[in-house]
């Protein structure tokens, strides 16, 4: 049986490593942003995966990974899979659909074709057919067509994906999905099975504090957490976002673990409290800076990246994990500040092509 995972395109290896650490099976990428793990039986793994997965937004049982060029192909594939193992005629089902590439039909058409194929299969087998319910289905079937690759799977998570967090009442206009925050943190080495006590975490463009809250919730269950009284530090330029971040931090129960400074990332070295004697923790920046689309122009963003990287070097930051649409600008900024880039992965953030960086000093 195959379990499929949906993660961020470009960081599949990071998500795969998390699955391996959780259940001892290393999945491989079958498509951009999709991983598959072959397991003798999926059932015993679904609960630990549901409780532990942070680097994928959803997972489920793969029913088909095959070629399909037309809607008729998609319907035929759906009619040929043994969906009755996961869907009984007393249940309702709904098809959720995604499409990438050039097709002469839209994704709703794809969903309808797959739904029709499933109904055809039940009719051909005789007896009652399951009801179609597009809103509150008992069973969600996912149909994904990437060029001519068709993936069909039964969703084990539901419509509310694993990035849902009740604390996120303050909806920052460019907030990061918790899944992406967790991928960056894992890339940075911030994992519950490592010793986090030697690190101090900083997000100098913290917005609504997603990265900081996710980090401290990992730390709360880590084998060696940061010391009592350890604070992760955020910096944010706009007071409205600072206020929103403080609200989210409070709702997440992290008030004693995360502090947000009002100010500029370019002043990180001045905003962080002076190190007390004996504090030998290495400083780690994990951050999602502005891309220069909403708040600043691309040229302003270049200056912000330069100033911020310079300030992180002055704050003696050892490692930076970040992402940028303007990859050359981030590369130049980190390099000029004395960081060595150890990983630069092309990825897709939402629908935006970006580069994810790991840099050390
Ligand atoms: C992409 S958003 C970060 C979103 C955040 N990860 C979240 O989940 O809410 C970038 C943030 O950087 C802030 N910002 C822009 N320029 C800044 C600067 N020079 N110094 C500090 N913060 C800045 C913006 O106000 C915005 O909140």
Residue whose pair of structure tokens reads 């319907």 in the numeric block: 75
CA–centroid distance, residue 152 to ligand 1 (Å)? 37
Q: What's the mean per-residue pLDDT of the chain?
A: 94
The reported pLDDT for the residue numbered 1 is 92
CA–centroid distance, residue 26 to ligand 1 (Å)? 34
Q: Which of the listed residues 171, 206, 215, 245 should we mutate to test ligand 1's pocket, taking the one with most ligand atoms within 8 A of CB?
A: 206
In short, whether 354's Cβ falls inside 6 Å of ligand 1 is: no
SS3 142: strand
d(CA 345, CA 100): 21
In short, whether 271's Cβ falls inside 6 Å of ligand 1 is: no
Q: What are residue 216's DSSP bridge partners?
A: none
Express each pLDDT in 205-229 by its tens digit. Answer: 999 999 999 999 999 887 766 665 5
Give the nearest ligand 1 atom to 204 CA: 21
d(CA 259, CA 231): 7
Q: Would you state the structure tokens that stand for residue 223, as one six-digit string?
A: 């084998």
Residues 6+ apart with CB under 8 A from 269: 311, 312, 314, 315
The reported pLDDT for the residue numbered 226 is 64
Confidence of residue 274 (pLDDT cuts 50, 70, 90): confident
Express each pLDDT in 124-168 by its tens digit. Answer: 999 899 999 989 999 999 999 999 999 999 999 999 999 999 999
Are the C-beta atoms of 260 and 211 separated by less than 8 Å?
Answer: no
Backbone phi and psi for residue 185, each to the nearest 5 degrees, phi listed first: -65, -40
Which domains, and CATH codes, for the chain?
Answer: 2-155 (3.30.2130.30), 178-360 (3.40.50.150)
Q: What are residue 100's DSSP bridge partners?
A: 146
In short, whether 180's Cβ falls inside 6 Å of ligand 1 is: no
Percent of the chain with pLDDT over 70: 97
d(CA 142, CA 138): 13
Q: Would you state the structure tokens that stand for residue 197, as one six-digit string?
A: 């006590």
The reported pLDDT for the residue numbered 230 is 67
The reported pLDDT for the residue numbered 278 is 77
In short, whether 208's Cβ falls inside 6 Å of ligand 1 is: yes
In short, whether 237's Cβ falls inside 6 Å of ligand 1 is: yes
* pLDDT, average across residues 74-100: 97
Express each pLDDT in 313-346 by its tens digit. Answer: 999 999 999 999 999 999 999 999 999 999 999 9
Q: Which of the listed residues 237, 239, 263, 312 should we mutate to test ligand 1's pocket, taking the one with most ligand atoms within 8 A of CB?
A: 237
Residue whose pair of structure tokens reads 């957490």 in the numeric block: 225
Residue bearing the CA closest to ligand 1, atom 12: 205
CA–centroid distance, residue 287 to ligand 1 (Å)? 9
DSSP 156: S
d(CA 260, CA 304): 19
Backbone phi and psi for residue 265, each to the nearest 5 degrees, phi listed first: -60, -30
In short, whether 210's Cβ falls inside 6 Å of ligand 1 is: yes
d(CA 72, CA 207): 46
Least confident stretch, 2-16, 209-223, 341-355: 209-223
Alpha helices, DSSP H, located in the chain: 12-23, 43-52, 71-80, 107-125, 178-187, 210-220, 239-251, 268-271, 298-314, 327-336
In short, whether 211's Cβ falls inside 6 Å of ligand 1 is: yes
| Degrees to nearest 5, angle at CA 231 with 225 and 236 | 135
In short, whether 249's Cβ falls inside 6 Å of ligand 1 is: no
Express each pLDDT in 181-194 by its tens digit. Answer: 999 999 999 998 88
Confidence of residue 298 (pLDDT cuts 50, 70, 90): confident
CA–centroid distance, residue 248 to ligand 1 (Å)? 15
């Amino acid at each position: 049986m195959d379990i499929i995972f949906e993660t961020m395109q470009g960081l599949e290896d990071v998500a795969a490593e998390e699955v391996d650490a959780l259940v001892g099976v290393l999945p491989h990428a079958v498509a951009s942003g999709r991983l598959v793990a072959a397991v003798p039986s999926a059932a015993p793994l679904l609960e630990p995966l549901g409780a532990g997965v942070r680097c994928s937004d959803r997972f489920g049982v793969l029913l088909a990974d095959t070629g399909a060029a037309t809607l008729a192909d998609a319907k035929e594939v759906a009619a040929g899979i043994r969906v009755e193992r996961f869907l009984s005629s007393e249940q309702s089902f709904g098809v959720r659909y995604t499409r990438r590439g050039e097709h002469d039909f839209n994704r709703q058409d794809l969903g309808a074709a797959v739904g029709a194929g499933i109904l055809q299969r039940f009719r051909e087998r005789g007896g009652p057919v399951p009801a179609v319910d597009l809103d509150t289905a008992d069973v969600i079937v996912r149909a994904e067509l990437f060029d001519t690759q068709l993936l069909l799977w039964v969703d084990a998570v539901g419509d509310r994906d694993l990035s849902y967090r009740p604390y996120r009442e303050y909806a920052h206009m460019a907030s990061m999905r918790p899944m992406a925050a967790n991928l960056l943190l894992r890339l940075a080495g911030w994992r519950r099975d490592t010793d986090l006590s030697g690190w101090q975490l900083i997000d100098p463009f913290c917005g609504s504090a997603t990265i900081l809250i996710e980090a401290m919730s990992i730390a709360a269950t880590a084998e060696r957490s940061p010391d009592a009284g350890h604070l992760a530090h955020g910096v944010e330029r706009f007071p409205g976002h600072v206020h929103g971040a403080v609200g989210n931090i409070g709702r997440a129960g992290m008030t004693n673990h995360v502090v947000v400074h009002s100010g500029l990332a370019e002043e990180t070295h001045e905003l962080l409290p002076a190190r007390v004697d004996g504090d030998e923790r290495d400083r780690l920046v994990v951050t999602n800076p502005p891309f220069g689309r909403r708040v600043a122009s691309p040229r302003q963003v270049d200056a912000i990246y330069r100033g911020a990287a310079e300030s992180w070097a002055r704050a003696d930051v050892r490692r930076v994990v970040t992402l940028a649409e303007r990859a050359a600008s981030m590369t130049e900024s980190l390099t000029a500040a004395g960081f060595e880039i150890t990983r630069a992965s092309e990825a897709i953030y939402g629908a935006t092509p970006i580069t994810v960086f790991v840099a050390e000093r």
